[in-house]
Amino acid sequence: MSDSEVDEAAVQTNVPEDADVEMTEAEAQDSAAEEAAKHTPRGIPLRVEDLRKEFGGITAVDGASFQVEEGTLTGLIGPNGAGKSTTFNCITGVLKPTSGAVYFEGEEITGLEPHTVANRGLVRTFQIARELEEMTVLENMMLAPRGQRGESLWRSVLPFVRDSVVDQEGEVLERCWETLDFFEIDHLAHEYAGTLSGGQRKLLELARALLTDPEMLLLDEPFAGVNPSLEARLLEHIHELREQGYTFLIVEHDMDLIMQNCEHVIVMHQGQVLMEGRPEEVRNDERVIEAYLGGEVE
């Protein structure tokens, strides 16, 4: 065999085989993720599997697994330091989990950026409302809907496409007014968001979230700092939205509020899911009582 034939044989032997191995491994990983996503039962938009998040030597979430049924109000509760907010942040892309997986609508979303998760239809609110304080309530609302043509510079200035931008802006404005009316804050439309009370800001944040056309809403302590009258209004709107088919996962410290309003309750303790079930089951569970009272939980 000539030297050139030897070199050609070496190339054919080594390079393609290495490439094939790499492709096979990548394809195997993709296939495994797709197969795992398919195991999500029907009617379960959100599934969390063995979620773990470590901060240095501290484990904030330690193998948490649960799922949320479509069209329900599901509560996520637990004593301080149980890992609730960290779990929320891992689900929505604010934090990247150390290990485990999150599936939404049959697809894995683990580690995706927050805006990508939101664009998939999984939208969250925050414990501290994040409105733009120097803009009016209506201006805050106008920013929320996805896919606005006016966000593209060339579409907003070129004559032959400008009309479509104007038409869409009119439709968005109408939706904003309808949503403000639904949440009974239309009278605040021209007020600066920074002047609103804590409860009004929570209503605004939920209204903005609704304008993104979500499939599911994750609410992080939506009633914190809200006075009783606005709390009642907020609860009323959440129940109305649930009746319209929306799905909610709610993190809340007020155990009684969750028990009175949610069909299903998940209890976390020390980064793990301690138990889950109907409110009456959770309320009477000795492990839950001990966790909240600071006792040892087996």
Task: Indicate whether 237 and 272 sit together in one domain.
Answer: yes
Q: Model's pTM, two decimal places?
A: 0.77
The 10 Å Cβ neighbour count of residue 155 is 16
The enclosing domain of 114 has a CATH number of 3.40.50.300
Task: Indicate whether 162 and 285 sit together in one domain.
Answer: no
**Per-residue pLDDT for 111 more than 80?**
yes
User: Encoding tokens for residue 181?
Assistant: 């009316």
283-291's contacts with Cβ under 8 Å and 24+ in sequence apart are: 283/259, 291/78, 291/79, 291/82, 291/267
* Stronger pLDDT, 100 or 172, i.e. the higher one: 100
**Per-residue pLDDT for 35 more than 80?**
no
Structural domain includes residue 33:
no
Task: Indicate whether 259 and 234 sit together in one domain.
Answer: yes
User: Encoding tokens for residue 269?
Assistant: 């303790």
Task: Indicate whether 127 and 141 sit together in one domain.
Answer: no
CB-based contacts of 260, cutoff 8 Å, min separation 6: 279
Q: How far apart are CA 251 and CA 85, in angstroms?
A: 8
Structural domain includes residue 292:
yes
Strand segments, DSSP code E, in 99-158 are 99-104, 107-108, 122-124
Q: What pLDDT shows up at residue 227?
A: 86
- Which of 35-44, 87-96, 205-214, 224-233 shows the lowest per-residue confidence on average (mean pLDDT)? 35-44
Q: How far apart are CA 201 and CA 252, in angstroms?
A: 17
Task: Indicate whether 127 and 51 sit together in one domain.
Answer: yes
| Domain extent for 165 | 134-195
Task: Indicate whether 289 and 143 sit together in one domain.
Answer: no
What one-letter code names the amino acid at 67? Answer: Q
Sole residue written with tokens 């809200």: 226
- Which of 6-10, 91-95, 204-208, 218-222 shows the lowest per-residue confidence on average (mean pLDDT)? 6-10
CB-based contacts of 238, cutoff 8 Å, min separation 6: 73, 206, 219, 222, 248, 261
pLDDT band at 131 (very low <50, low <70, confident <90, very high): confident
Q: What pLDDT shows up at residue 17?
A: 47
User: Encoding tokens for residue 144?
Assistant: 């929320």
Q: Could you tell me whether strands 99-104 and 216-220 are parallel, antiparallel, or unpaired per DSSP bridges?
A: unpaired
**Per-residue pLDDT for 29 more than 60?**
no
Structural domain includes residue 207:
no
Q: What pLDDT shows up at residue 6?
A: 44
Across the range 198-206, mean pLDDT stands at: 90
pLDDT band at 144 (very low <50, low <70, confident <90, very high): confident
Task: Indicate whether 95 and 221 sit together in one domain.
Answer: yes
pLDDT band at 82 (very low <50, low <70, confident <90, very high): very high
Structural domain includes residue 126:
yes
Structural domain includes residue 51:
yes
For 160-177, how does the pLDDT look when each residue is reduced to its tens digit (9 = 90+)?
A: 555 565 666 778 889 899
Across the range 267-293, mean pLDDT stands at: 92
Task: Indicate whether 152 and 181 sit together in one domain.
Answer: yes
pLDDT band at 31 (very low <50, low <70, confident <90, very high): low
- Which of 100-104, 146-150, 164-168, 241-245 shows the lowest per-residue confidence on average (mean pLDDT)? 146-150
Q: Average pLDDT over the chain, rounded to whole?
A: 83
The number of folded domains in the chain is 2
Task: Indicate whether 55 and 101 sit together in one domain.
Answer: yes
Q: What pLDDT shows up at residue 128?
A: 65
Structural domain includes residue 81:
yes
pLDDT band at 9 (very low <50, low <70, confident <90, very high): very low
Task: Indicate whether 275 and 219 sit together in one domain.
Answer: yes
Task: Indicate whether 127 and 221 sit together in one domain.
Answer: yes
Q: What pLDDT shows up at residue 91?
A: 97
Structural domain includes residue 124:
yes
What one-letter code names the amino acid at 227? Answer: N
Q: What pLDDT shows up at residue 163?
A: 58
**Contact 266/76 with Cβ under 8 angstroms?**
yes
Q: Pick from 195, 227, 248: which residue ends a domain?
A: 195
